[in-house]
Amino acid sequence: MFENFIANVKGVAFNAKTQLVAHSPEILLGAGLVSICVGTVMACKATLKLDELKEKAENDLNRIEEGVVDAGIDYSEAEADQDRDTVTKRYIGGVIANYAPSVGMIALGLTLTLLSHKILKDRNATLLSAYTALQTAYTAYRERNIARNGEESDLYCQYGAEKQLVQRKVVNPETGEEEVVEREEMVLDREFLGENGYLLGNPYARVFDADHTTEYEKNDPDNCVTFSKLQIRERQWNEVLKLRAKCAGPGGYGVVFGNEVYHDLGFDKCALGQVDGWVLGYDQYKKDAEAGKDDMYIKFNMFSCYSRPELANLWDEDETGRRVVVLDFNMQPGVIKHFGSGLPNELSEEDCNKIYYLQNK
């Protein structure tokens, strides 16, 4: 019985410790804010006692002056100066002692807040390292899949696109009559689509259509206008990246976040778009500019396939099918570490404000 009680107590203590460690940043931040508020209140109360200390010091100094006048040779000026120094030191010591608790409480609050920030920064660094390792493993997996099974296997695993025999209604140019033909086409599997148009096999790719973006041109059955608009946007964002790299100066980096491009194209923002995107160093930009290169660092990698009519509510109802536009953005993981100072996990408050503005403008 006693052993079970001890085991239960240990279990509760272990769970409590685990929760404290897991939520330590929030706990430290809360404790820090409370300490700062309490310290501020204590400082206000301490200020009210200053008049009392000041009045006492003034009375002592007045008595010293009276003693100098009345005592004559028995109370020299040197002794008076010594007493004045004693009164002054006692007053300064009283002021320090009066404010010491409030200053200590505020210092404790600031220490707890900075400690909370350090824990979060270390955790973010760990997450970024883990994410980079995962991205490396994913890229290696794709390369092995392509080497063994070919490009078509990679297309299906990433985008859910595969070749299928599909029946289409076409007009025979010789007879002018409509007839049904069977042909092999690339078909997009709807089960690979997430809620916001992203493809479950590729975290960066998006389906550009009327259901998932506000920028899609509905009155464009062949997607000619759509492709033109996307090519213009692609060129514009490359110019933005180059301009930011140029303004960064030697040793600096120009960064474009994924969420900036997603927002511009009418997609919803996502967590990956906050830290991933494109980065161009000033040195690389200058080298390419001197060589006369007009590289497209940001690529939408537009390609299309044909949707089957039975894919309900995916495209506009059309018996002949409708083209599907897939954007496979060539983003790089963890570009946020190059923003601002260019050093991992050392973003200033100004840098953070800039990121917030860029991703929420």
Sketch the domain layout of the chain as residue ranges: 2-118, 192-360
Query: What are the pLDDT digits (tens) for 28-55?
Result: 888 888 888 988 888 888 888 887 888 8
Question: Taking residues 341-360, what's their average pLDDT?
Answer: 53
Query: What are the pLDDT digits (tens) for 283-307?
Result: 888 888 888 887 789 998 887 665 5
> Does the pLDDT at position 102 exceed 70?
yes
> Three-state SS across 273-340?
HHHCEEEEEHHHHHHHHHCCCCCCCCCCCEEEEECCCCCCCCCCCCCCCCEEEEECCCCECCHHHHCC
Length of the chain measured in residues: 361
pTM for this prediction: 0.54
Q: What percent of the chain has pLDDT over 90?
A: 6
CA atoms of 14 and 268, how far apart (whole Å): 41
Query: What are the pLDDT digits (tens) for 321-340?
Result: 556 788 889 898 888 877 76
* Beta carbons within 8 Å of 168's beta carbon, 6+ residues apart: 180, 181, 182, 183, 320, 321
Q: 120-130 b/e with 16+ CB inside 10 Å = b?
A: beeeeeeebee
CA atoms of 32 and 34, how far apart (whole Å): 5
CA atoms of 279 and 273, how far apart (whole Å): 13
> Does the pLDDT at position 89 exceed 60?
yes
Whole-number pLDDT of residue 361:
53
* Beta carbons within 8 Å of 90's beta carbon, 6+ residues apart: 57, 60
Instruction: Identify the residue with better confidence: 77 or 42.
Output: 42
- Helix H or strand E encompassing 268: none
Mean pLDDT, all residues of the chain? 76
Query: What are the pLDDT digits (tens) for 113-149?
Result: 888 888 888 887 777 777 777 778 878 888 888 888 8
> What tokens does 95 get?
């002021």
